[in-house]
A and B are shown apart, each in its own frame.
Chain A
Amino acid sequence: MTDLAMVARVRAGDADAYRVLVERHSRTLFRLAYRMTGNEHDAEDVVQESFLRAYRQLGRFDERASFGTWLYRIAVNCSLDLVRARKRRGEITASADPEMDDPLSTAAAPDPAPDRMAMSGEVRERLSGAMNELSASERTAFVLRHFEGMRIEEVGRVLGCQPGAAKHSVFRAVQKLRRALEPLGSAR
């Protein structure tokens, strides 16, 4: 059954239909939230909050749109809210403590060689730092384009901006990352 059919059932009062949508989209949303926030705990929170918000706002969902894209937009907003709140409270971020809950900390092979460990540590720090240097829109646009494989036009829809603006966010993000990571790449 399609997402839209399930949405119609939820709107008709069948809350159990929402379970299907949750089960269908949770893993995708977790992946997005993890890329956006940089740690598992926050990503879990974002997934739950996104589904709660989506349920509350279901009355405003336009059935001509894609439920997945709409849900993505909510998850992106939840992630941004969380990241901003964390920054406002001055909490430790992935870049400040790269060993803790950092995306790349789980990348190492089970028994990595010392040079690989040194390199992955350096890459991790640089990448975390570079990702945190991106503005909210740059980070979001980059995550959606690069990791989620969305076309730029779709990224614009999720971000609620024109494709041109989304494209420039992707450009700026890639340029910043390249400047930060290029020395490591050329050293290889």
Chain B
Amino acid sequence: MTHLSEETLILHYYGEENDTPAPEGTLAVERHLEECGECRALYGSLVRTLNMVDALPVPERGEDYGARVWERIEPGLPARRRWLGFTLPPLRWAAAGVALAGLLVAAFFAGRFYPGTRPTPAITAKAPDAQGPERILLVAVGDYLERSQMVLVELANTTAKGPVDISAEQERAGDLVAETRLYRQTAAHTGDTRIDSVLEELERVLVDIKNQPSRMTPRALEELRQRLEAEGIIFKIRVLGANVRSRETTAAERAGSKL
């Protein structure tokens, strides 16, 4: 008598043996189990094991769990709501307006940090009123560029003989992509094509890093390094970052002289 394989018995347990080619359909397996003590013992062992695994409990989450999750993640969601949320409840319009204004100011300063960018007259007129937000935004933009640079530099400097786990860098790249899009949208809003173009390059690189397999081969790492060098993206970020820091210092001095 030909015995049933353990694989067939596992499929039988899950009721999927009919998905495999004949002759091991449900009826055939059951008939065999009735007749064969050895296979019946093996199947019994399998059932006992899986019943034991079934004792694994999961802590209960109440009906309101989804609402609690939403409360926690909502502040961290990218700015889709702020740009496109025309269905916002009326009471949130004020907050959305403040956020939008902040982003426009950010675009203004970001646009001015990049060499050769011409500020528009309309925005220039707003600048003197924006000393406080200016410094805050400078810090935020500076921090964003620094974090982007760190991810790229870490990957560019990684040398390995075997596959490298880059899941932590991918996670950081994913977060940065969302921020990049926010700044790009802002730049596009103010017509700052130069800043948009640098951020577009950065976004492409970050998205590619994020979409790599989490274990990167030495060859893929080398290709990434060559690409970073060829596009000069780290250099461009450094230039932009230096301009941001310089602008931050000026803004702080300006604010200090007014006190």
Contacts and interface: CB of A to CB of B under 8 A. Distances in A.
Interface in B57-85: 57-59, 61, 65-67, 69-70, 72-74, 76-78, 80-81, 83-85
Given A55-B73, A106-B59, 4 more contacts: A81-B214, A127-B56, A151-B16, A170-B10
A56 B167 contact: no
A170 B16 CA distance: 12
A34 B58 contact: yes
Contact of B168 (A30, A85, A170, A186): A85
A96 interface: no
A52 B53 contact: no
A181 to B, nearest CB: 5
Given A26-B66, A53-B174, A15 B81 contact: yes
Contacts of A103: 56-58
A30 B80 CA distance: 25
Contacts of A15: 77, 80-81, 84-85
Nearest to A171: B7
Contacts of A66: none
Contacts of B11: 167
A73 interface: no
B87 A13 contact: yes
Interface in B143-202: 165, 167-168, 170-171, 174, 177-178
A135 to B, nearest CB: 13
Contacts of A152: 14, 16, 19
B58 A107 contact: no
Contacts of A170: 10, 14
B178 A47 contact: no
Contacts of A19: 70, 74
A4 interface: no
B219 interface: no
Nearest to B6: A175
Interface residues of A, number: 57
Contacts of A47: 69
Interface of A: 10, 12-16, 18-19, 22-27, 30-31, 34-35, 40, 47-48, 51-53, 55-56, 80-81, 84-85, 88, 103-104, 106-107, 120, 123, 127, 145-147, 151-153, 167, 170-171, 174-175, 177-178, 181-182, 184-186, 188
Contacts of B80: 10, 13, 15, 55
A31 B58 CA distance: 7
25 contacts: A10-B80, A13-B80, A14-B85, A15-B85, A23-B69, A26-B61, A34-B59, A35-B56, A51-B69, A56-B174, A56-B178, A81-B214, A84-B167, A84-B214, A104-B56, A127-B52, A146-B50, A152-B16, A153-B19, A170-B14, A171-B7, A174-B49, A181-B49, A181-B53, A184-B52
A48 B70 CA distance: 8
B87 A16 contact: yes
Given A48-B73, A85-B168, A127 B57 contact: no
Given A13-B80, A19-B70, A56-B177, A174 B55 contact: no
Which residue of B49, B55, B81, B167 has the most chain A CB atoms within 10 A of its CB atom? B49
Given A13-B84, A13-B86, A22 B73 contact: yes
Contacts of B242: none
A167 B6 CA distance: 13
B166 to A, nearest CB: 11
Nearest to A181: B49
Nearest to B67: A23
